[in-house]
């Protein structure tokens, strides 16, 4: 449905300037009247956009109905998150640098959480960033709640493999373990890899994956690998890829380590 609304919006782009009711228009209805986002963050602002208008040069971000504007000039480099959570209508949110009529879009979001929007961007000290909150397509405005806050530092992730593992002499299944370390609590974490061992002229390969419920700090993991053939005692090579995600972003790491397999009690 939204796709058809957006097509209709683009087709009628030249008629988007809406007079509105001057007495009811929000103070930051126009780009030139953008509200300054003050430091220190967080910043929050509430306004009604029911009678907000659309200027002919307002940029597009899933439409540009009922737009209002904000300006942020950080005093230091920082990562910024802005969202419209708590608003009661279908919002869009976008971020720009440049000047009126020559804006460069650096972020745009329509539906991040249901009908609410969220953007994240890296801000440079002394640079003017312009935030446009609008309604999707040509849909009505409503009660806007804008929040701007400083994001946490990027998540960092590291993975290790313990130098020894085990194999079951009866099944040939190998078990290896290690740690996954995440600098922040995660919403998703996973390890994917393979274990290889040479047996004469044959290379036995088994695949494994592990999904910890949550990774926060150092988290232990254990995985089993069953190959085409039996793993046995001696060195094997574990190659793996790990990914960990917060609600804001993901980080990845790869590692290859030698593991010495030892027989386990069956």
**What does the pLDDT look like over 137-185, one tens digit per residue?**
989 999 999 999 998 888 999 999 999 999 999 999 999 999 999 999 9
pLDDT in tens, 29-55: 999 999 999 999 999 999 999 999 999
State the pLDDT confidence band at 248, using cuts at 50, 70 and 90. confident
8-state DSSP, 85? T
CB-neighbour burial class of residue 231 (10 A; exposed 0-12, middle 13-18, buried 19+): buried
Q: What is the pTM of this model?
A: 0.67
Answer yes or no: are the C-beta atoms of 220 and 125 closer than 8 Å: no
* pLDDT value, residue 266: 56
């Amino acid at each position: 449905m939204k796709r058809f609304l957006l097509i209709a919006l683009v087709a009628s782009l030249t008629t988007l300037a809406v007079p509105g009711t001057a007495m009811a228009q929000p103070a930051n209805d126009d780009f030139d009247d953008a509200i300054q986002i003050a430091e220190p963050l967080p910043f929050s602002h509430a306004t009604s956009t029911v009678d907000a208008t659309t200027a002919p040069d307002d940029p597009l971000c899933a439409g540009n109905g009922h737009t209002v504007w904000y300006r942020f000039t950080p005093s230091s480099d920082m990562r910024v998150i802005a969202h419209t959570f708590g608003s009661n209508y279908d919002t869009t949110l976008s971020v720009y640098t440049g000047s009126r009529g020559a804006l460069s879009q650096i972020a745009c979001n329509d539906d991040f959480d249901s009908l609410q929007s969220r953007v994240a961007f890296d801000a440079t000290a002394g640079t003017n960033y312009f935030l446009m909150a609008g309604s999707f397509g040509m849909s009505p405005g409503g009660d806007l709640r804008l929040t701007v806050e400083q994001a946490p530092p990027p998540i960092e992730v590291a993975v290790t493999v313990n130098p020894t593992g085990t194999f079951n002499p009866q099944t040939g299944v190998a078990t290896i373990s290690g740690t996954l370390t995440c600098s922040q609590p995660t919403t998703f974490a996973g390890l994917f890899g393979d274990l290889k061992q040479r047996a004469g002229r044959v290379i036995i390969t088994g695949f494994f994956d592990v999904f910890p419920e949550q990774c926060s700090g150092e988290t232990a993991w254990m995985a089993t690998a069953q190959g085409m053939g039996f793993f046995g005692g001696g060195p094997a090579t574990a190659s793996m890829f790990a990914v960990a995600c917060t609600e804001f972003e993901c980080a990845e790491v790869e590692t290859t380590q030698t593991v010495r397999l030892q027989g386990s009690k069956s």
